[in-house]
Structure 1
């Protein structure tokens, strides 16, 4: 287990990847558009663009909940479309919430298996 000091030296993407890939069945790798994608089987649960942005695909009701809570915004490629969501990553709280959102996505994906 890494210490907090060691984790502070890791970028947001590395910290998120370290946690999310520790969950059973999760893989991570580069996608076709340069994103760093997390998958459970063939289902993508979200992806990162460097250390500054996370993107997700949600059912509309889940999107609405996260959006109302201020946890996500519209995806920049799909403005005003419910479902695709985006989250800026600027600090440790954002890293923690991206991990929490990915965990929710993971739970939905494995419950369908």
Structure 2
């Protein structure tokens, strides 16, 4: 059985903060509403509170696909935005929480790589191969790539 005590949740949150903060291009700071936030360049990819509330930023279509699959929930306040809320309830939630933040990170890096400065800054990050390791569903991949589900081919075709 997994440890779900407040102390275990705090340890899991700290582990997540450290892990995400080690990713290339991520900066860690205090969030304006409490907790710790992560940014890639000017973009906030998410933030977490010590009691386990994890808010993650996505493109709205990506957020919708993740909610439809039950991977995360509607944001606790901004229910019409691209933000989601996932509650870390113990150590067993670490891998899933990390995956949610990693998906946001990869999405935002992919967007930034389309700019000259971002292409240089994030050149070493192979978004496509890293996305493949997350093994997203077809619907999540389609939303990530900004195409309609069931459609084949590259984005923009």
TM-score when normalising by structure 2: 0.61
Give the structure 1 partner of residue 74 of structure 2.
74
- Name the structure 2 match of 1:104: 103
C-alpha distance in 1 between matches for 2:45 and 2:32: 15
Please tell me whether residue 83 in structure 1 is matched to residue 82 in structure 2: yes
Residue 109 of structure 2 aligns to a residue whose secondary structure is: helix
CA displacement 1:43-73 (0-9 Å, x = unmatched) = 1000001141100122121111110121111
CA distance in 1: counterparts of 2:36 and 2:81, whole angstroms: 22
Q: Give distance in 2, aligned partners of 1:58 and 1:105.
A: 6
User: Is the 8 Å Cα contact of residues 12 and 51 (structure 1) preserved in structure 2?
Assistant: no
Aligned counterparts of 2:99 and 2:36: Cα–Cα separation in 1: 17
- The structure with the larger Rg is 2
TM-score, length-scaled by structure 1? 0.82
Q: Given that residues 16 and 95 in structure 1 are in contact (C-alpha distance below 8 angstroms), is that contact kept between their aligned partners in structure 2?
A: yes
CA contact (8 A) 2:53 2:85 kept: yes
Decide whether the 8 Å contact of 2:17 with 2:36 is kept in 1: no
Consecutive unaligned residues in structure 1, runs of 5 or more: 1-7
Aligned to 2:126: none
Does the CA contact (< 8 Å) of 1:48 and 1:55 recur in 2?
Answer: yes
Tell me the residue number matched to 1:25: 25
- 1:82 positional shift: 4.8
Matched pairs, number: 105
Which secondary structure state, in structure 2, belongs to the residue aligned with residue 76 of structure 1?
coil
| Cα deviation, residue 97, structure 1 | 1.0
How big is the alpha-carbon RMSD for the aligned residues of Structure 1 and Structure 2?
Answer: 1.9
- Distance, in Å, in 1 between the alignment partners of 2:93 and 2:73 is 13
